[in-house]
Amino acid sequence: MNFAFLTGCAVLALVTGNQDPVASDHEELILSLNKKLLRSLEDKDSLPNPSVHLALRLSTHHNLVMEAAHLVRLKADLHKDIESSLTKGQPVTGLLALYALALRASCSELSSLTLNGEPLTVQLKKQMDLEKEHITNSLRPVTNYYQYSLGMLALCANGVRVSSHVRNKLVRAIEQDKMKHSGCESVDTLAMAGMALQCLKDSFPEEDGTQLEGALRTVKKKLVDSRRPDGHLGNEFSTGLAVQALLAMGSQVSDCSASMEAMRVDVRKGTYHNPMGISQTLPALQRKTYLHVKTTQCREEDDSLVLGTKPPGVVVPDETVSLQVEVIPADASSTTKTQDVTKGSSLHDALKLLQEKQSDFTFETEPSLWGPFLSVVNGERARQSDRSYWSLSSDGTSLSQGIQDYKIEKAQKITIKKTKY
Ligand code: B12
C-alpha cells in the first residue's frame, strides 16, 4: 500500500488500528440518538410524527424497512388527521409543512397526493395565503412565524415558489423583531426563518434578493449573538435548529464547534429523550440541514441501523418531596396547593395526583408533537385564538420543558400562569 498521500494522523490510525477518539465518540453519540429515534416509531398510541421521519431520512444510517412502514402510517393516519383539520377549518400550516418535508425526504411523488381532493402543495399554499392575510389584518400569523417559515421552507424544498408578498411578510417580521417565544427572542423561530429564506435564495436566484440578503444577515447575527458561554444557541432545545440554520447560511462546521460540543454534552447527559427534541438536533450533529431534502435522491442508502436494547424502566425511589402548585388565572387571583409527590415523578403525574387528591384543582391537556400541552386549568382554557397560554415556571424560572418531560427532583413551587403572547 502506498502511504504517501495519507496525513500523519491517518497513518497512525491505520497502523495502530485506532480511529480518532473524538470522531468515534461523536459517531457513537449520533448512533445512540439515531437508535432512540428509531425506537420511538414503535409507539403506536400517538399519530406518526413527520419531524421524526424527516430526521431519520436525513440520517447517514437507515433502517429502510421501519422507515418505509412509518411512511405508510404517515400517508394513512397523519394524512387523514390533516384532512379532518382542514375540513374543520383548523390551522395546520406547520404540520402540513412537516408532512411535505417528510414526503420529499422519502422521495415520494407529491403531485400524486391530494388532501380533500386538492394537491397537497396547493393546500399548503392556501394555508400560507391565510397566514399572510392574517398578518395583513392582525399583524401576526394565524399560527406563528415558526410555522409560517416551516410552510415556506416545505414549499421551497419541493420546488414550489411562494409569492413575493408571502416572502416579504417574513422579511418584515424579522426586521421588526417579531420572532418571539414566551416574550423572549425565539432562536427556534429565527432558525426556521433563516432556513426558509436561504432556501428561496438558493432555489430562485433570479428573484430580487436585496431585502432577502438583509434579513438573512440579521438572522445570522442574532443566532450568533444568542450563543451562551456553554456554547448553546438559545437553549438546549433550540441549538440543533440554530446550528442547522447557520450551516445552511454558509457557516463552516468549525464556526459551530462550541455549539456542537454543547449538544454532545447534552446527549451524554440524556437531555434529548423527547423524540421531537432528538429530531431537531440529530440532523445538526450530522452536519445536515432541512435544506438537504431538496436534493435527496434515496438511492444506494445504508441499511445498517438496528434497534438498540430497550432502555430499562425508570426505578422510582421511595422518597417524596413537597410540591407547591400556584395557579394564577387571567383575573390575577392566585391559589396555591401543596402536595407530596414521589421524587423524580413528572410534573404531569404530579398534577394528576393533585387533581385526584384535592377537590378544587382540575386540568386538561391537548396532544402535540412535543407531548401533552397544558390547555385548561380549573376550567379556564388558554387558546391560540386569544393568544394566551398557561406558562410554567419553577421558583420563578421559566421551564424549558413541558409537563411530561419536566421531573420533580426537589421541593419547589411550580407556577402555572395564564399569560398573553
Ligand atoms: C410557538 C411556540 C409556543 C407557543 C405555541 C402557540 C402558538 N400558536 O404560537 C406558546 C407561546 C404557547 C408556547 C408555549 C410553551 N412552550 Co413553546 N414553542 C413554540 C415553538 C417556537 C414553535 C411550536 C410550533 O408551532 N411547532 C410546529 C407545529 C407543527 O408543531 P406542534 O407540535 O403541532 O405545535 C404545537 C405544540 O408544539 C405546542 N407547543 C408549543 N410549545 C410547546 C411546549 C411543550 C412542552 C409542548 C408539550 C407543546 C408545545 O404549540 C404548538 C402550536 O399549537 C417551539 C420551537 C420548536 N423548536 O419546536 C417552542 C417549544 C416547543 N416550546 C417550548 C417550551 C418550553 C414551552 C413552554 C413549556 C414554556 C413555558 N415555560 O411555559 C410552554 C408550554 C406550556 C404548556 N402550557 O404546556 C420548548 C420545548 C422544549 C422541550 N424540551 O419540551 C420549545 C422547543 C422552545 C425551546 N427551544 O425551548 N410555545
Mean pLDDT per 10-residue interval, the chain, length 421 residues: 37 47 86 96 93 98 98 98 97 98 96 94 97 96 97 97 94 95 92 98 86 95 97 98 98 96 97 97 98 96 88 78 97 95 96 95 96 97 90 97 97 97 88
Which class does domain 8-295 fall in?
A: mainly alpha
Pinpoint the residues of the chain covered by CATH 1.50.10.20.
Answer: 8-295
Pinpoint the residues of the chain covered by CATH 2.170.130.30.
Answer: 320-420
HEC string of the chain?
CCCCCCCHHHHHHHHHCCCCHHHHHHHHHHHHHHHHHHHHCCCCCCCCCHHHHHHHHHCCCCCHHHHHHHHHHHHHHHHHHHHHHHHCCCCCHHHHHHHHHHHHHCCCCHHHCEECCEEHHHHHHHHHHHHHHHHHHHCCCCCCHHHHHHHHHHHHHCCCCCCHHHHHHHHHHHHCCCCEECCEECHHHHHHHHHHHHHHHHHCCCCCCHHHHHHHHHHHHHHHHCECCCCCECCCCCHHHHHHHHHHCCCCHHHHHHHHHHHHHHHHHCCCCCHHHHHHHHHHHCCCCHHHHHHCCCCCCCCCCCCCCCCCCCCCCCCEEEEEEEEECCCCCCEEEEEEEECCEEHHHHHHHHHHHCCCCCEEEECCCCCCEEEEECCEECCCCCCEEEEEEECCEECCCCCCCCEECCCEEEEEEEEEC
> Is residue 145 marked as binding?
yes
Question: What pLDDT score was predicted for residue 239?
Answer: 98
Give Cα separations from 320 to 45, 344, 408 (angstroms).
30, 9, 10
Which class does domain 320-420 fall in?
A: mainly beta
Here the cell at position 299 is 438511492
Output the residue whose Cα is nearest ligand 1's atom 86: 237
**Mutational test site, ligand 1, from 74, 259, 373, 392, max ligand atoms within 8 Å of CB:** 373
Question: What pLDDT score was predicted for residue 18?
Answer: 52
Q: What atom of ligand 1 comes closest to residue 237's alpha carbon?
A: 89
> Is residue 274 marked as binding?
no
| Residue ranges around ligand 1 (CB below 6 Å) | 94-95, 98, 143-144, 146-147, 181-182, 186, 188-189, 234-235, 237-238, 241, 274, 277, 280, 368-374, 384, 389-392, 398-403, 405, 421
> Is residue 285 marked as binding?
no
Question: What pLDDT score was predicted for residue 19?
Answer: 62
